[in-house]
Amino acid sequence: MKTVTCFFLLALIAAGCGSQNEEKSETTDTTIQSQAADEQLFTDAARNLVAQYGNELQTTLFAALNDYGPSYGVRVCQTRAQEIAAAHSVGDWIVKRVSEKWRTIEDRPDTAEQRVLAVFADPMTADDYLVRWSGPDSARMFHYYQKILVRQVCLQCHGDLQTVDLDLWKEVKIAYPWDKATGYKEGDLRGMFVVNAPYPQGQEIARLLADGATVAELAPPADSAAVDSTLTDTVLEDTL
Ligand code: HEC
């Protein structure tokens, strides 16, 4: 039956009277095939991107903790975390972190992300990452999710309210009145890294990242707005 319909559709298209829907069914087959072939490439690329993003978050946090202690760490996370995510979102590849118990509303998961978080929260899930596809052919998206677990060092700011330092806690409450991100124990699921990339448009960046490119190497030449602000900064620096 399926084959008959397929022949019928192909005949219609060949006769030049295929409607958009019929053409779409042909595209769908091709898209699914090439998408499957590219899944490994996109996954390798996303893993590289998350490694770089996670490293920079960790280096920034640890430097702040070592140099000035946890209260300063909160301020650094507050000002730098979203900036670091933006700096690691290259081209149309977007990286971020989300959590069911978010500290900042920017990190609130959408419905699809909530479903993946539930999969990671299931003790039967051994994988540390998952890959999903979404959207119609005209707006196909690749999604990569990697779990984030709580470690000892994280408890200073995400641990139990009974044991958390009071000054630090005040700092958190002032910065994040709606904070939900406490009460964790070591080994708990804290949230996940998310990478979203359009398909097939993201292929070029996927190839470079999968080949080990760094974000700095990939950063596109400054656009006019960025050039303007760089110039302004230089001018300001020179003037000051
Ligand atoms: C010095 C305090 C501090 C420490 C230590 C800390 N965090 Fe955070 N964390 C924060 C702050 C503040 C934010 C909110 C950042 C923002 O505004 O974007 C945050 C946000 C997050 C988020 C994003 C989700 C959300 O709740 O908004 C994750 C995931 C996360 N932290 C994981 C960790 C992990 C894992 C560790 C240990 C390796 C850790 N944190 C250690 C302060 C801390």
- Report the alpha-carbon distance of residue 129 to residue 188 in Å, rounded: 16
Q: Which residue owns the Cα nearest ligand 1 atom 20?
A: 103
Strand-by-strand arrangement of the 140-149 sheet: 94-98, 189-199, 140-149, 129-134
Kindly give the distance from the C-alpha atom of residue 77 to the centroid of ligand 1, in angstroms, as a whole number.
7
Q: What confidence tens digit (pLDDT) does each residue in 62-95 have?
A: 999 999 888 889 999 999 999 999 999 999 999 9
pLDDT score recorded for residue 80: 96
Ligand 1 atom, smallest distance to 102 CA:
26
Domain residue spans of the chain: 34-207
Average pLDDT of the segment spanning 104-108: 97
* pLDDT class of 166 with cuts at 50, 70, 90: confident
Q: What confidence tens digit (pLDDT) does each residue in 12-59 have?
A: 344 333 344 445 555 666 667 778 889 999 999 999 999 999 999 999
* Pocket around ligand 1 at a 6 A CB cut-off: 61, 70, 73-74, 77-78, 81-82, 97, 99, 102-104, 106-107, 148, 150-151, 153-154, 156-158, 181, 190-191
Count of other CB atoms within 10 angstroms of residue 53: 21
Q: Which residues pair with 206 in a beta bridge?
A: none
pLDDT score recorded for residue 26: 59
Kindly give the distance from the C-alpha atom of residue 140 to the centroid of ligand 1, in angstroms, as a whole number.
31
For the chain, give the DSSP string: -HHHHHHHHHHHHHTT---HHHHHHHHHHHHHHHHHHHHHHHHHHHHHHHHHHHHHHHHHHHHHHHHH-HHHHHHHHHHHHHHHHHHT--TT-EEEEE-TT-SSGGG---HHHHHHHHHHHSTT---SEEEEEES-GGGEEEEEEEEEE--GGGHHHHS-TTTS-HHHHHHHHHH-TT-------TT-EEEEEEEEEEETTTHHHHHHHHTT--HHHHPPPP-HHHHHHHHHHHHHHHH-
Ligand 1 atom, smallest distance to 81 CA:
18
